[in-house]
Amino acid sequence: MRNDGRPIPTLEVSAAQQQIHLHTFFILQEVTATSRHYVDRLFDPDPQNVLQGVIDMKNAVIGNNKQKANLIVLGAVPRLLYLLQQSSSSLELRTECAVVLGSLAMGTENNIKSLVDCHIIPALLQGLLCSDLIFIEACLRCLRTVFISPVTPVQLLYTDPTVIPHLMSLLSRSRHTKEYITQIFAHCCKTPEHQTVLFNHSAIQNIAPLLISPSDKVRMQALKCFSVLAYENTQVSMTLVNVLVDGEQLSQVFVRMMQRDKPIEMQLTAAKCLTYMCRAGAIRTDDNCIILKTLPCLVRMCSKERLLEERVEGAETLAYLMEPDVELQRIASFTDHLVSMLADYFKYPSSVSAITDIKRLDHDLKHAHELRQAAFKLYASLGSNDEDIRKKITETENMMDRIVSGLSESSIKVRLAAVRCLHSLSRSVQQLRTSFHDHAVWKPLMKLLQNAPDEVLVMASSTLCNLLLEFSPSKEPILDSGVIELLCSLTQSDSPALRVNGIWALMNMAFQADQKVKVEIVRALGTEQLFRLLSDPDTNVLMKTLGLLRNLLSTRPHIDQIMSSHGKQIMQAVTLILEGEHSIEVKEQTLCILANIADGNTAKELIMTNDDMLQKIKYYMGHSNVKLQLAATFCISNLIWNEEDGSQERQDKLKDMGFVDILHKLTQASDPNLCDRAKTAMQQYLA
């Protein structure tokens, strides 16, 4: 019977099938029996038999993953670790145990998990305290294999604070200790904390001499160490600049390692080291080693002659190198036809691919999305500042179609890179008016905003902010698509970046908008949320909310309508900000809102009947900061403007409160704008 109670149908099995099943059964039984025999020999009372058993086990597991898995299941690992740790075990036996464990670790990820669960790492680290070099090398080789696996928690290297200094002391013992220890460091340095631990234990001074080792493997692992140590680390990068290796500056050693006759991996890793040092501020972006060596080396890595992973790494490193520097972006855009070279990233592997190795083709088909991701990242970096480069990118064959496709790819990383690229191009007024409109990119962008991780949402909503600028033809269709509710929901996010983007997009939408749109924004956002945003701890959120309020309160009918329904709360919020501990920029923006309110026909009475607010304006007119003085003077100018009803009464009241004396003083101000504004206001009294 099945679990669900229904009978299992009868299956007819042919004689031939029965034979196959029996044959398979006997093979499995045989493998398990021999595996059991190997494990049993580990418990033999005669040490010589145990040693021979371990040696036979070593020969049996080489290249045999099934045998490795069987031995692990049958409990070989705890026994091997026990023998490895016993001081009564001979050095030869302990060494052979470490070799077998290293071989077991060369199997599948499940093997590694089993070894780690059996506490192999502390046992091997303990083994490093032995004085015998051959045993130390065997332990390190096994540790290296375990640590380079993605399933091993790298934190296990840092649990005992004595481990790193001991590894440093073993580093120079032999070629193998140099290779294995630097490889362990290169794989286990994942966080700023790890960088600091290694830096504090003189990693730089100990590893730098290895860059001129006669061994390629040692040089390569030392180089990888420096790339992970320098990544986004100013302290390490600044130290590296001053390091000398055999009398030569370290940066020059890296430059030599980028020469075309060196292995590709070495060229690429040396370029990464110099890139990270440059980004950390240790090397100038206009230094020859960056412009003439690192940048061209990384562009070379993008050519279609390179392997997929080299092209990916080359493009991503180049994107990172030039991200903040417009001059590097310009140089790169003219180097080796980079912009058109990247178009090949989307055609790979092609039907006429030169790949004859089936394994390589299979690998590349599975990883082709990484090429598209890298190309989008590099295009985003290239086009982040220069209008001509953006034009060059959008004119590259089918580029906008590729971005649109990228926005709906199954890989989240490709979607993020595609939206990054779109964001970079959306900084161009020209592209917003042409390519973006022609390809209706707002549609896939809106779809992306419906359901995406925060990382993608931040980039997509940033792009949307640009598409909602007043000169963008996409603004109208986006408005019609019901975007207001979506943006209002973003303002309630826990992420400050999403709150900023939500409110920023609403601010752009409200700019010179008709009354219907403004009313819809206020309704959808709700006054409660609007005032919550006005007390947001993030200054960017507060500034954008004030910007939104300022855009909502523009043109008199709109000002009067909004103030008639929400005036009390808005005046309350303005008071709180002007009284609070806020930056000059925040207070200036708040006073500008007040100046807009003062421009309303009926709204201005909310200021005139509030003596406390008038005193605040008076205080800011006499403030030491010119921007605040100017904004406050604007308020008064709007309140006393002659051509409006009730201007005489308002002028009289403000004169009695001493505003004329202040205005008179400000006509002598050293700032020409403030002086002119005060004179214009004074003329209202003289007219």
pLDDT at 3: 38
Q: Which amino acid is at 648?
A: Q
Residue 96 has pLDDT above 90, yes or no: yes
For residue 32, is pLDDT > 70? Answer: no
Contacts of 474 (CB under 8 A, 6+ apart): 432, 436, 437, 440, 441, 442, 467, 468
DSSP-derived 3-state class of residue 248? strand
| pLDDT exceeds 70 at position 287 | yes
CA-wise closest residue to 153 among 203, 105, 108, 117: 117
Split at pLDDT 50, 70, 90, the class of 643 is: confident
pLDDT digits (tens, 9 = 90+) for 516-538: 999 999 999 988 898 899 989 99
Identify the pLDDT of residue 26: 36
* Positive/negative CA dihedral, 14, 15, 17, 21: positive
Alpha-carbon gap, residue 143 to 593, rounded angstroms: 65
Residue 352 confidence (pLDDT) = 47
Place of tokens 């021979």: 52
What integer is the mean pLDDT of 53-78?
A: 92
CA–CA distance, 289 with 275 (Å, rounded to integer): 10
pLDDT at position 487: 95
**pLDDT tens, residue by residue, 291-335:** 999 999 999 999 988 999 999 999 999 999 999 999 999 999 999
pLDDT of residue 367: 87
Q: Measure the CA–CA gap between 52 and 100, rounded to whole angstroms.
A: 12
Q: What is the pLDDT of residue 646?
A: 86
**583: number of Cβ within 10 Å:** 11
335: enclosing H helix or E strand: none
- Helix H or strand E encompassing 245: strand 244-245
C-beta of residue 311 within 8 angstroms of C-beta of residue 300: no
CA 628 from centre of chain: 38
pLDDT at 605 exceeding the cut of 50: yes
Q: Is 526 left (phi over 0), alpha (psi -120 to 50) or beta?
A: left
> Does the reported pTM lie above 0.95?
no
More confident call, 189 vs 29: 189
> Tell me, what's the pLDDT at 507?
96
What is the tens place of the pLDDT at every residue in 132-162? 999 999 999 999 999 999 999 999 999 999 9
Structure tokens that stand for 121 in this block: 């790492």
Going by pLDDT thresholds of 50, 70 and 90, the confidence category of residue 452 is confident
Residue 417: band (very low, low, confident or very high) from pLDDT cuts 50, 70, 90: very high
- What is the average pLDDT score of the chain? 91
Q: Residue 19: is its pLDDT beyond 70?
A: no
pLDDT at 614 over 70: yes
Q: Given a cut of 50, is residue 24 above it in pLDDT?
A: no
- What is 2-13 written as a DSSP string? -TTSPPPPP---
Average pLDDT in the 662-686 region? 90
Of 423, 405, 427, which Cα lies nearest the Cα of 414? 405
Summarised one tens digit per residue, pLDDT across range 340-356 is: 999 999 987 664 455 56
Give the chain's domains with CATH numbers: 566-686 (1.25.10.10)
Contact 287, 294 (CB under 8 A): no
Residue 34 pLDDT greater than 50, yes or no: yes
- Tell me how far CA of residue 684 lies from CA of 65, 573, 643, in angstroms: 93, 30, 9
Number of Cβ within a 10 Å radius of residue 383:
27
Inform me whether the pLDDT recorded for 28 exceeds 70: no
pLDDT confidence of residue 190: 97
From 88, 29, 98, select the one nearest 58 (Cα to Cα).
98
Q: Which residues contact 130 (CB under 8 A, 6 or more apart)?
A: 91, 94, 136, 139
User: What b/e sequence results for 433-447 when a residue is b if at least 16 CB atoms lie within 10 Å of its CB, and e otherwise?
Assistant: eebbbebebbebbbe
Provide the token pair at 29: 């039984």
Q: What region does 189 belong to: left with phi over 0, alpha with psi -120 to 50, or beta? A: beta
Asked if 272 and 314 count as a contact pair (C-beta separation under 8 A), the reply is no
The pLDDT tens digits for 547-589 are 999 999 998 999 999 999 899 989 999 999 999 899 999 999 9
Residue 13 scores a pLDDT above 60: no
SS3 244: strand
Helical spans, DSSP H, in 189-307: 192-200, 203-207, 216-230, 234-241, 250-257, 264-279, 288, 295-300
% residues pLDDT > 90 (the chain): 79
pLDDT at 27: 35
Which residue intervals of 282-433 are DSSP H helices? 288, 295-300, 308-322, 326-334, 338-343, 358-382, 387-394, 399-406, 412-425, 429-433
End-to-end CA distance of the chain: 103
Q: Are 421 and 376 in contact (CB under 8 A)?
A: yes
At 186-211, the pLDDT tens digits run: 999 999 999 999 999 999 999 999 99
Instruction: Kindly calculate the radius of gyration of the chain based on its CA atoms and give it in whole angstroms.
Output: 35
Residues in the chain: 687
pLDDT at position 135: 97
DSSP category for residue 294: I
**Contact (Cβ atoms closer than 8 angstroms) between residue 380 and residue 421:** yes
Please state the rounded mean pLDDT for residues 642-667: 89
pLDDT, tens only, 459-511: 999 999 999 998 899 999 998 888 999 999 999 999 999 999 999 999 999 99
